Chain A
Amino acid sequence: MNGKPEDRVDKIVSDLLRGRRLKLRGGDAEEKEAITAAARLAGDRAGPQRMNPAFRNRLAQALEQAPQGSWLTRRGALVAGFGLAAGAVSGAVIGRAVESQPYAVDRTGAINPLNGKWIDVAAVAELVEGQGRRVTAARLPLSSRDVHDGGSLHLPHLSAARAQPRPGSRDAGGAGRGARHGLEAPAPPHPRHL
């Protein structure tokens, strides 16, 4: 118990006498008997208590909303619990799928990063379709996820990609290395391996 036990117990007693919640700490266990005696004296001093009407109404509504007839069985409650858990997992997956994308695809199918920038990672000639490749970049605009250093990026539709060098790039007009600067439609799906 932090501090003097008589101070701590008096704080608890004072809270109880003001009708406040019991706010206990782990160290209060040393005085558990005094604390519970105080709670019971506080509870008993005014005689048996009845529910506040508003609280009773809330409980009544909860009871009314419970299925009538045969109320939920233990098995039913278990199944409902699994259903809730499955729903939570599905919600997380769907939420991830529909979260805002960090890039836009224009009418030509070109990918325009909204919150990032293109970074040279490899020439098209260096990439093999269907195979992952380790890249070193802070962020890539191909996914809603960040790709951290050492991440592996999977490009399953690489054959559809073609060079789209930036105007003025030293690689403009050239094949191969120009692929560092951008990929054109179709928009790649979210990478499977990050």
Chain B
Amino acid sequence: MPGMATGGPPEGSAFPLGQGEVIELPAASRASDIALDELERVYAFIYARVGNRADTEDLTQQVAMKAIPRLRQGSPASAIRGYLFATARSVLGGFWSTRLGLSEAELHEDLALAPPPEPPSEEGAETVQRILGELSDNYRRVLELRFLHGYSLKEVAKEMDSTVGAVKVMQLRALRAAAKVRFER
């Protein structure tokens, strides 16, 4: 991580503690360094909303290309973060709008506009558990098996002693219900 000063020589170093050279790494004061670190958070923010790496990389790159020319040297990290996340929300809005063929006004605000948690969340799996915990047993079970255990529909059907067709319908209803839980929060 740029900007972190060395805390001393590593074990086995030729310079025993107290006698070695102190190397001071350059501070991450440049806007580009700060932006790169902040883009990691933007990446996680976007990934949590689109659920796949390829789209996340495309969108993160869009954010960088849009926002970086507007950043100024000497800007505080908070300003850079705010600008990057504002850009990320705009890019996400455009993504869903384009993919679904809807105007951004028609999109539910939570699709893209919910502000990112501060500090950035480390609770993705917990969020899933919280949402699933609010669903009925059948809905929770089908989503747990599909999303957390990676079961196929056939495996879910076998596990739940049901049919593939019935599981598909249940999965759709469970996702609709999950959307309400999340959006109502």
A interface residues (Cβ-Cβ under 8 A, vs B)? 4-7, 9-10, 13, 15-17, 19-22, 24-26, 28-29, 31-52, 55-56, 58-60, 62-64, 66, 68-74, 76-77
Q: How far is the CB of B75 from chain A (nearest CB, A)?
A: 10
Residue interface bits B141-176, CB-to-A below 8 A is 1, else 0: 001001110100100000000000100110110011
Given contacts A38-B51, A49-B44, A60-B36, contact A6 B168 (CB under 8 A): yes
Given the interface pairs A29-B102, A33-B183, A43-B49, the reply to whether A48 lies near B124 with Cβ below 8 Å is: yes
Q: How large is the interface on B (under 10, 10 to 19, 20 to 34, 35 or more residues)?
A: 35 or more
Closest 8 CB pairs of A and B: A42-B51, A26-B101, A33-B179, A34-B175, A37-B179, A43-B51, A39-B51, A44-B124
Contacting pair A71 B44 (CB below 8 A)? no
Across the interface, A40 reaches (CB within 8 A) one of B123, B150, B182, namely B182
Q: Which residues of A contact B169 (CB under 8 A)?
A: 6
Residues of B within 8 A of A (CB): 30-33, 35-36, 39-40, 43-44, 47-57, 60-61, 64-65, 68-73, 96, 99-102, 106-108, 111, 120-125, 127-128, 131, 143, 146-148, 150, 153, 165, 168-169, 171-172, 175-176, 178-180, 182-183
What secondary structure prevails in chain B residues at the interface with A? Answer: helix
Least Cβ distance of B169 to chain A in Å? 5
> Which one of B39, B96, B122, B172 contacts A47 once the chains associate, using CB atoms below 8 Å?
B122
Interfacial chain A residues near B30, Cβ < 8 Å? 68
- Docked Cα-Cα span, A64 to B43, in Å, equals 19
Q: Which residue of B lies closest to A27 (CB)?
A: B101
Q: Are B147 and A45 in contact (CB under 8 A)?
A: yes
**Could you say which residues of chain A place their CB within 8 Å of the CB of B33?**
63
B122→A77 contact, CB < 8 A: no
B123 neighbours in A (Cβ, 8 Å): 47
Chain A residue nearest to B68 in the complex (CB): A66
- CB-defined contacts of B43 to chain A, threshold 8 Å: 49-51
